[in-house]
Chains A and B, each alone.
Chain A
Amino acid sequence: MNRKFFSLVLLAAMAIAVGGMACAQVTKSIDDADETDSGT
């Protein structure tokens, strides 16, 4: 059971890493859009 639990932990860590990158990407795209708008 321990092995399965630690696999779940690693899977969660990877899901968080991917989710974190996706969140950061979304934030960056919003920032870029704002920059373009305000730059004109």
Chain B
Amino acid sequence: MREAGEAGAPTISAAAALGGVALLIVLVHLPMLSFGFVSDDGWTITANGFLRQPADLWILFTPEAAARRVPDAFRPTLVLWDLLTYQLFGLAAGWHHALSIATHVGVAWAGQAWLGAMGAPLRLRAATMAIFGLLAVHAEAVAVISFREDLLAAGLGLAGALLASRWLRAPARGGGCGARARVFVLLRTISVGLLIALACGAKASAATLPLLWWLAEALAPWSRRRPLGQRAAWMAAMWVGVALWIAHTVALHGSLSPYGAEGNLRLFVSRAGLGPVLAMSTQIHLGYVQQMLIPWGLRPEYVDAGASWAAPATLLASAALLASLLYGLWCGWSGRRPLVCLAIVGAFVMALPTSNLAAMPNMRADRFLYFPSFPVCVGLAGLLLAAGLRFARRLGGAGEGAGRARWSWALAPIVAFVVMQGAVLQAQAQIYKSNAALWSSAALLVPGSARAQALAGEVLLAALDPAEVGSLEHQRTLATVRARCRSAMALDPLDELAHLCFARLAIAEQAWGRAQLHLERALALSPDRNHRILAALAQVALDAPGSSEQRREAALAAISRALREYPYAVEVWAVAGRIFHRLGDPALASEHYARAYELAPERWETTLWTAELALDVGLWRVAAALLAARAEIAESAPGVHRAALEGRLRDSARLFP
């Protein structure tokens, strides 16, 4: 890593330096291999039947994807990636985490390679890679499998930027003119445009990458600036990629936003208006800067809120952000500190898609910083290396040996920063190891979040042991859940999760009428992802007060709607099978169980319920054969359910030999 002008600096090959940094990033992230599926992983991976239907892939590029509620249909790259990885790894969480870690290393590698293509020295590239790879605020994006959308967007986007910068400096094969050269140029242009389209198709955070690329090439901190026309041509190729993504989103949803229009209660802007949201956004972004520099206050959950433009915090945040932007622009305009300009203005540019100018279901999240942090990491690497060199020069000394010792000291600031960030990253990542850890931590760290309170209650209910019903421990858990539900309701009565929490509690207490009321209220408030509510409503309706005909009609209405609106939601098919099973229609029950198994063979509920159906119609041999064939799946069911089924099977075999 010899630097020009640094006498005595030891040499190290680029492969060793970058390989060593990549190794460090992998080592620090290794504990994540033991983590499970959490948060949105349920909606997008574990219960997403679309991933098991590769033949339906074509609908991703038609409005059918939105009509059939394919999870994250507006992110076709991500869906494609999820489908491929599901086909490869199934639901083995460890492999998915390994892939996330590899992707994260790949993103860091692509970032440093882009800097290298623009002529950045090895030391800066390696330092940027280390900081980006170990930045604590990236814990959420890397540790949660479904948040690999951010990793994919950054990786594909940086790969596009790398190719554009490399080809900007390399003439096309076949000479400067002629048909062959034109074909090469066209292929290169298409490749760059396609990579940017794919990046945006993974997450919209890549949509402003062309601006970052332009800024870096216009500033040209490490090499001669390329002619304006050539730069404009490559940026145009990138914008074509962005336009492709926009066209796809509009084709699917009929608008630029996949989150629907006004009235979507998940969008805080629908409740408070754009002004207060943007005022709060200034505070949020100042907080982001602090979190990147000093990793304190990282959270798995934030409460959406508005703010006044006259509030001191808003004024302070706005002034600080504006001052830093003006300073960054001045650094670039004067040409004195192009790296500072790239870091500051680049971060502003990359933060635009998640800056709440466009309405989003979450105003703030750690993962939103994944891509925007890249230019910040470049700036931090430059700053820490410069500080280290100054520090090393002050140490003095003479001779070759002294020079090497000084050089080692030059690395001290960057090593200290990376160790501090990496340590916090490892600790922070532990929050995401399971849903129970995630939501109990979220409720503790962010007690003002209705979602955190409601979901903390739900995970407690999910962990209830059916064998302990009626015990003191059981009663205590129900009381804790009730307190969580009440907190959620007091914090945000318009959040459907608070009503869903009460509904789950009522189901646990077998208070079917109360459960039905809460589910209906949750359904009225929830703008999307209603499959769980509808499935629960259908099941509860069969036990709720009313005549048998009323109950039957209510259950069938709810499950029919669920099947129509969410044809790829696994639990909907399983519950439909259960409903027909209970209504005494074994043919329809069997048909729906079969579809549920097709959409998610890993779910134990489907297998056990199918075996129960066979027992109920007197086919105990069929049930036994099914359980033997799917022994591994049945093994994953809770012991109490498995034991009950095996007991029935034994009785049937004895009574009807």
Stretch at the interface among B416-424, B498-506, B564-572: B416-424
Which residue of chain A lies nearest to B430 when distances are taken between CB atoms in the complex? A24
Report whether B425 and A20 are in contact in the complex, using a CB–CB cutoff of 8 Å.
yes
Bitwise, B1-36 to A at CB < 8 A (1) or not (0) is: 000000000111100110011011001100000000
Asked if B16 and A15 sit within 8 Å, CB to CB, the answer is no
A2 nearest CB across to chain B (Å): 5
| Contact in complex: A16, B17 (CB < 8 Å) | no
Is the C-beta of B85 less than 8 angstroms from some C-beta in chain A? no
Does B444 lie at the interface of the complex (its beta carbon under 8 Å from any beta carbon of A)?
yes
In chain B, positions 382-441 with a C-beta closer than 8 Å to chain A are 411, 415, 418-420, 422-428, 430, 441
* Chain A: minimal CB distance from B1 (Å): 8
Q: Is A27 an interface residue (CB 8 A)?
A: yes
Q: Decide: A27 near B427, CB < 8 A? Known: A12-B415, A12-B419.
A: yes
Complex contacts, B11 vs chain A, CB 8 Å: 1
Q: Is the CB of B16 within 8 A of A22?
A: no
CB <8 Å contact, B20 and A5: yes
Q: In the complex the two chains form, is A23's CB within 8 Å of B20's CB?
A: no
Point out the residue from A15, A23, A34 that lies within 8 Å of B424, measured CB to CB: A23
Contact in complex: B12, A2 (CB < 8 Å): yes
The interface residues of chain A lying within 8 Å CB-to-CB of B427 are 19-24, 27
Most buried by B among A16, A21, A24, A34: A16
Closest to A1 in B: B10
**A residues 5-40 touching B (CB-CB < 8 Å):** 5-6, 8-9, 12-13, 15-24, 27, 31, 34
Q: Which of B17, B28, B424, B444 is the one whose CB lies under 8 Å from A13?
A: B28
Of all chain A residues, the one with the shortest Cβ separation from B15 is A2
Contact present for A5 and B423 (CB under 8 Å) = no
Among residues of B, the one whose C-beta sits closest to the C-beta of A26 is B427
Chain A CB within 8 A of B497 CB: no
Q: Within 8 Å of chain A (Cβ to Cβ): is B134?
A: yes
Please give the distance in Å from B510's CB to the nearest CB on chain A.
Answer: 29
Contacts of B428 in A (CB 8 A): 23
Given A20-B426, A24-B430, decide whether A2 and B24 contact each other with a Cβ distance below 8 A.
Answer: no
Among the listed B16, B418, B441, which residue makes an inter-chain contact with A12, where contact means beta carbons less than 8 Å apart?
B418
Q: Which residue of the partner chain, among B13, B21, B423, contacts A15 with CB atoms under 8 Å?
A: B423
Give, as a whole number of angstroms, the nearest-CB distance from A38 to chain B.
Answer: 9
Give the CA-CA distance A15 to B16 in the complex, in Å: 21
By a CB distance below 8 angstroms, the chain A residues around B13 are 2
Contacts of A18 in B (CB 8 A): 423
Contact (Cβ within 8 A) A34 B444: yes
Cα distance A25–B318 in the bound complex, in angstroms: 36
- Please name 15 pairs of A and B residues whose Cβ atoms are closer than 8 Å in the assembled complex, sorted by A: A5-B16, A9-B24, A12-B415, A12-B418, A12-B419, A12-B422, A15-B419, A19-B419, A20-B423, A21-B427, A22-B423, A22-B427, A23-B423, A23-B427, A31-B441
Give chain A's interface residues, CB within 8 Å of chain B: 1-2, 4-6, 8-9, 12-13, 15-24, 27, 31, 34
Beyond contacts A22-B423, A23-B428: 18 other A-B pairs, Cβ-Cβ < 8 A, are A2-B13, A2-B16, A4-B10, A5-B20, A6-B20, A9-B20, A13-B28, A16-B134, A16-B422, A16-B426, A17-B426, A19-B422, A19-B426, A20-B425, A21-B427, A23-B423, A23-B426, A24-B427
